[in-house]
Amino acid sequence: MEESVKTALITNDAVVLGMLLVILALIFYTSSSKKLAWIKFYKVIPSLLLCYFIPSIFNSLGIFSGDDSNLYFVASRYLLPSSLVLLCLSIDLKGISKLGPKAIIMFFAGTLGIIVGGPIAILAVSAFAPEIVGGSGPDEVWRGLSTVAGSWIGGGANQTAMKEIYGASDELFSAMITVDVIVANIWMAFLLVGAGMSEKIDRIFKADASAINVVKDNIQNYRNSISRVTNLTDIMIICAIGFGGTAIAHFGSDLITPFMETKKEWLSEYRLTSMASGFFWIVVIATLIGLFLSFTKMKKYEGAGASKFGSAFLYVLVATIGMKMDILAIFDNLGLFLVGLLWMLTHVIILLVVAKLIKAPFFFVAVGSQANVGGAASAPIVASAFSPALAPVGVLLAVFGYAVGTFGAIFCAQLMQVVSQ
């Protein structure tokens, strides 16, 4: 019996983009409202959460389709690198270095949670429903789960690499993408809610967030000191910086990626297959351009609102991420979602235990987790939920995540293979 193909009500991307921008505008308008009802509402529900949750509802109801739209591709390839350049323009590397080792410790705690979470989830589910984590040949569930490990420790490039290495079937890979997207977005929703109550969480953990506040205040004070009325020339130059940086990033990626593809055997031998991904090089080069420009006179355009443009691009990306999430798809693979949820729960428990032991602020928990699970697309989003000034911290940790992603994913996959025997 053939599956019926669902067609979205609206398939024109121009219409969908307009709808997404109207949704974002309404969220920002109401979140800045002085009316008591809206103030109380946004104290409980962060505006950033709505920016991707509302588009996911439209997608789930079939009003538009994230799978059939090119908007996520455009946002991730054009707007994200521009955003990275503009957000890094005002970065204070010396100040960020003063955050201390806790950020890196929490990042590796997140990585450890993913590595051991997969095998633990398989063992737990196999105790009462072994058929869920069984299979044979290319349909062995652990092979599919290896692609989730790749995505959650480094991003889409590592996910594809894991499929190639362990040979998961196309059908299994498709189901795992659904598990990956929905479980990761559910956790991201919790992080965005947690960002709004981070001070309470820090008090529970007896964490000292003073270093984070100093960095945030220094960046904000710098922005205020150079702030000026933005004119049309400023806007054109800011766009040139952002999209010019994106052009260089794409040009560099187009040169480097084909060369790296010729070295795939060597890269596979040293577990560096993500370096053959064009998106990997776009993110890395855009970040490096932003860091370089932060040492030049271009930094003064932060006073004209460069980071605000970067944030606007980032919010459009958030909306396109949301429109790829089908909330109702969770009912199609309940068993696999159970594995995914137990896996993520292990990741969360390890993060919170380590945070409690070293008294790490919740900001490090959230960004350390998303630098693993979400990568460059969502780590700066979560960081900016605490403060737009902190977005570059998420960018830097996410790039670090690409570097260790394949190693961690392969180790996790080997452990899952062992426990599945």
* Digit-coded pLDDT (tens) for 198-224: 888 888 888 888 778 777 777 777 777
CB 409 within 8 A of CB 389: no
> Which amino acid, 86?
L
Lowest mean pLDDT among 42-46, 175-179, 304-308: 42-46
Q: Tell me what the mean pLDDT of segment 399-414 comes to.
A: 73
Q: Could you give the 3-state DSSP secondary structure of residue 64?
A: strand
- Beta-carbon contacts of 257 under 8 Å, excluding residues fewer than 6 positions away, are 276, 277, 278, 281
pLDDT at residue 189 is higher than 90: no
46 vs 216: CA distance, rounded Å: 19
CB 384 within 8 A of CB 223: no
172 vs 204: CA distance, rounded Å: 41
Which is more confident, 175 or 251?
251
160 vs 172: CA distance, rounded Å: 13
Dump pLDDT digits (tens) for 56-72.
889 888 898 888 899 98
Q: Tell me what the mean pLDDT of segment 266-276 comes to.
A: 60
Using the Cα atoms of residue 278, residue 280, residue 282 and residue 288 in order, give the sign of their dihedral.
negative
191 vs 355: CA distance, rounded Å: 14
pLDDT at 326: 75
48 vs 31: CA distance, rounded Å: 10
346 vs 208: CA distance, rounded Å: 25
Residue 361: C-alpha distances to residues 113, 206, 217, 231, 398 (Å) = 18, 8, 16, 39, 18
Backbone phi, psi, residue 55, to 5°: -60, -30
CB-based contacts of 210-217 (< 8 A; 24+ apart in sequence): 211/98, 211/99, 211/100, 212/99, 212/361, 212/363, 212/386, 212/390, 214/95, 214/98, 215/92, 215/95, 215/96, 215/98, 215/99, 215/389, 215/390, 215/393, 216/386, 216/387, 216/389, 216/390
pLDDT at 327: 72
User: Can you give the residue ranges of every domain in the chain?
Assistant: 70-420
pLDDT at residue 405 is higher than 70: no
User: For residue 115, how far is the Cα from the chain centroid?
Assistant: 18
pLDDT band at residue 330 under the 50/70/90 scheme: low
pLDDT at residue 134 is higher than 70: yes
Q: Could you give the 3-state DSSP secondary structure of residue 10?
A: strand
